[in-house]
Amino acid sequence: MKIVFIGSGNVATVLGKLFHHNALQIIQVVGRSKDNTERLASQLNCEAVLSVENITQGGDLYIIAIPDDSVTMVAEHLKLPGKLVVHTAGTLPLNTIQNISDKTGVIWPLQSLRKEIEKVPEIPFVIDGCNNEVIDGLNKFLANVSDKIIHLKDDERVKLHLSAVLVSNFTNHLYALAQQYCSENNLPYQFLNPLITETAERLNLYDAKQVQTGPSVRGDDSTIKTHLKLLQNDESLTELYKQFDKSIRTINR
């Protein structure tokens, strides 16, 4: 299968590396940034072009890996009749790209992807397609690079995307807040890293609720009062602490 990437950012770069490493044939990268597009094409040993007007018609699978708000615009100008075309967004409906081709699908990599990472992480894929033939084809194709593939419709995929934001984006924000707090108080944030790792690794073995720890689940009001006193000059962090305390107590009743 001959693959064309439309996009040269984080998703295109990481998926491109993953596919290339597994000997899948990538023939072209299409992007707006000359430097990024040529750099990625060089890494993938394929052609670089800077406009969808120059996209090859010789591909079998066209992967639109660009920011969500740009997909609709590309879909208005790109026509690839008879070609398999997919987007990689967690929240965009499948029909966003229906005018490009009569064979459309979704391959959403459920992972936080950054193009500067050296080692490609494990990537589960969520797929969908305009018919069973497309879904089966995407399943077989992605089996080359992942053993975690699931078919979800638009409404299911967007709910899983919301869950991904909770466990990744929101959690990372808490790390940033803790790092800032430690910096302001001359404390070694790096000493928290083993705790972060251990907490995450437990989730491979247990349900999250089952391994919940801390003063809120214990009902340790004395410790909570001490923490809130320490935060009395930070209204935002105080409110966040109170909300988490209330939520943990509620779910663990």
pLDDT tens digits for range 69-100: 999 999 988 999 999 999 999 999 999 999 99
- What CATH number should be reported for the domain holding residue 201? 1.10.1040.20
29-62 pLDDT tens trace: 999 999 999 999 999 999 999 988 899 999 999 9
Residue 238 confidence class, pLDDT cut points 50, 70, 90 = very high
User: Taking CA 109 as the corner, what is the angle to CA 106 and CA 110, rounded to the nearest 5 degrees?
Assistant: 120
**pLDDT, mean over the chain:** 96
Say what the pLDDT of residue 240 is: 98
User: Among 126, 152, 178, where does a domain finish?
Assistant: 152
User: Among 112, 137, 152, where does a domain finish?
Assistant: 152
Q: Give every CB contact of residue 238 below 8 A, 6+ residues apart in sequence.
A: 228, 231, 232
Residues 111 and 187 grouped into a single domain: no
Residue 253 confidence class, pLDDT cut points 50, 70, 90 = confident
Residue ranges making up the domain that contains 231: 158-251
Residues 133 and 175 grouped into a single domain: no
Q: How many CA atoms lie within 13 A of 200 on its CB side?
A: 11
d(CA 45, CA 116): 18
Amino acid, single-letter form, for residue 209 = K
